[in-house]
A and B are shown apart, each in its own frame.
Chain A
Amino acid sequence: MQTDKAVSVSKLSRHFGKFIAVDEISFEVDKGEIFGFLGANGAGKTTAIKMLCGLLKPTSGEATVAGFSINSDTSKIKKNIGYMSQKFSLYDDLTVKENIEFYGGIYGLSREKISDKTDQLISELNLDKMKNSLTRSLPLGWKQRLALSTSLLHDPSIIFLDEPTGGVDPISRRNFWRIIYEIASRGKTVFVTTHYMDEAEYCNRVSIMHKGKIIELGTPTGLKQKYNKTTMQDIFISIIGQN
């Protein structure tokens, strides 16, 4: 199945016992788009993203990611997506180089490709001096950039970022977003969850999740006009406040 949509979700739900974490959400993400997934903690963002990555089975509904169904084709999806979560730490006790080599290996890249990619990444990230030091000695901002780069090793067409900038200082966050733009400019789709409202401004389109449902979806400019507000922060507070 080939579509021009990177992600297409229709009535997707996930229940944990009686608790409904994700409640019949539907939306589509275009190829090359930076799609923001906003919501307070516990709104169901992570559950939704996990289903799209094949880490969780949906209770009901359907979704396709890179053209493959999350109900039947998760192994194909996994080859075509990158994923990085806030919790994602590289292996602290491995060196920068060893981390890159490991992740290259589990994506089945050839040895030459891994060594090319390793050199390329290390020079892109200016990590030449650090390539043989343990990852735990890197500053957090660098670790996150390294993590992002490793999750792109296998050249996925869609990249899922689950609160990638949690706990990072504003300057590192800005740098991180520069990389996200750079990734999108290469035609990759970026699916990003965040609860920093200033980051929402950087997205092409955003959706706002509340109690398992998507309650608003549109471009930041469009939403500002609709709610007659100047920042995403104000929009978010007024929408969540109403509900």
Chain B
Amino acid sequence: MKLKRIISIIIKEYTHIFRDWRSLLIIILMPVLMIILYGYAITLDMKNLTFAVIDDAKTPESRELIRGFTENRFFILKYTDIKRNEIESLFKKRYIQMALVIPEDFSESLFSNRITKVQLIVDAADSNVGTFINNYSNRVAQLFNEKLNNRSPGILGLEPRILYNPDMKSANFFVPGLVALILLLICSLLTSITITREKETGTLEQILVSPVNPIEIVVGKVIPYITLGFFNGIIIIIFARLLFKVPINGSLTLIAVLSLIYIFVALSFGLMISAVAKTQQIAMLATLMATVLPTIMLSGFIFPVASMPLPLQYISKAVPATYFLIIIRGIMLKGIGIAELWQHAAALSGIGILMLSMAIIRFKMTLE
């Protein structure tokens, strides 16, 4: 390996990058656009759920019960005084997600200490919303009971203490994940086309008849893109902080160092594809398929790895984002350090080295 030859390749790659300022602009703006789009679109926060009430009782107690639903930001009361047969059409038109039917004898029943039933109709087509409404309604009913019976003895009450994301904002969960997704996508896309482009133009052949060896080519191509990817990472984290107010409880330096490792993995992955693919289009498609889907579905980006079927859990161990998600969420939300994260960092480095070696070997093979 000769430093001089590597430097020549590095300079050339930088020249390519900065000359093509349109692509450079896309490379820089795309992550920003993605974080805005995904950041606002992917949310599991329940807000502004609409509901209808048929209050046949019309007593202070029934109004008290309805207030239990309306006194927060989750529910908006949209329809009152409608007929029972209108409910179904409201559901079908998606005007409401919930309907509450309070019977005429509501108050009398309560005061005669009978078990009083109120009908709750829930649209559970979106099961998350359905579960949320159900849980929340139970809580309303419980509070209502407590208030009405004024401390009936021996009722169990849990007092939760919510750690790491006390407001339970889903942005705090998703935005660090987006850092993982976007970095992987951009960085692997960048390198996946660099070698295939040279294959297409024939310049690769010209380089290969020179004394340059494959390792020098690969190293010379990775280094410029590491800096570009790192710059992208910084932009994403700044936007995450400004737009979504995601906390950064841990060390910024640690985020930077471990992000570099992750970027290295992504770039090596791109190079591996680049060494195999014959055209730039194939390289791009393959990269998109191989990064986006596993990262979203199998890394714990949305769905916890622990609740996947066992075979998928094994596959998730080969997905780089699985480790980086634990790392970045851990540092940003829990403020933990390298003592807790070194295993994941090591796994990530291992994957990176493996992929880079495969890229080099595969690249050598294409020459045979």
Contact = CB atoms under 8 A, between A and B. Distances in A.
B19 A93 contact: yes
Contact of A105 (B4, B203, B367): B4
Interface in B176-214: 201-203, 205-213
Interface in A63-103: 75, 78-79, 81, 83-85, 87-94, 98, 101-103
B7 interface: yes
Interface in B11-42: 11-12, 15-16, 19-20
B205 A103 contact: no
A81 B16 CA distance: 27
Nearest to B19: A93
B209 A81 contact: yes
Nearest to B217: A106
Contacts of A88: 202-203, 205-206
Contacts of A101: 8
Contacts of A92: 201
Given A94-B19, A108-B4, A55 B207 contact: no
Contacts of A57: 368
B171 interface: no
Interface centre among B20, B211, B368 (most CB of A within 10 A): B211
A85 B205 contact: yes
Contacts, number: 77
Taking chain B's interface residues, is the majority helix, strand, or loop, or is none over half, making it mixed? helix
A179 interface: no
A106 B205 contact: no
A108 B211 CA distance: 9
Contacts of B7: 105
B114 interface: no
Interface in B75-89: none
A55 B367 contact: yes
B211 A106 contact: yes
B187 to A, nearest CB: 21
A107 interface: yes
Contacts of B5: 105-106, 108
A93 B24 CA distance: 14
B2 interface: yes
B202 A102 contact: no
B248 interface: no
Given A53-B209, A81-B209, A108-B211, A91 B202 contact: no
A106 B209 contact: no
Contact of A87 (B16, B202, B368): B202
Report the contact-size class of chain A (Cβ under 8 Å from the partner): 20 to 34
A87 B211 contact: no
A98 B13 CA distance: 11
A59 to B, nearest CB: 11
Contacts of B12: 91, 94, 98, 102, 105
A79 B210 CA distance: 7
B265 interface: no
A106 B11 contact: no
A125 interface: no
Contact of B202 (A89, A93, A94): A89
A106 B203 contact: no
A101 B211 CA distance: 16
B201 to A, nearest CB: 5
Interface centre among A54, A91, A93, A151 (most CB of B within 10 A): A91
A83 B211 CA distance: 12
A204 to B, nearest CB: 23
Given A55-B367, A57-B368, A93-B20, A87 B205 contact: yes
B211 to A, nearest CB: 5
A67 B207 CA distance: 22
A189 to B, nearest CB: 16
A113 to B, nearest CB: 12
A94 B7 CA distance: 16
Interface of A: 53-57, 75, 78-79, 81, 83-85, 87-94, 98, 101-108, 151
16 contacts: A54-B209, A55-B209, A57-B368, A75-B211, A78-B209, A78-B210, A79-B211, A81-B209, A88-B202, A93-B20, A102-B12, A105-B5, A106-B5, A106-B8, A106-B9, A151-B206
Enumerate the 3 nearest inter-chain pairs by beta-carbon distance, A residue then B residue, closest first: A105-B8, A87-B202, A83-B209
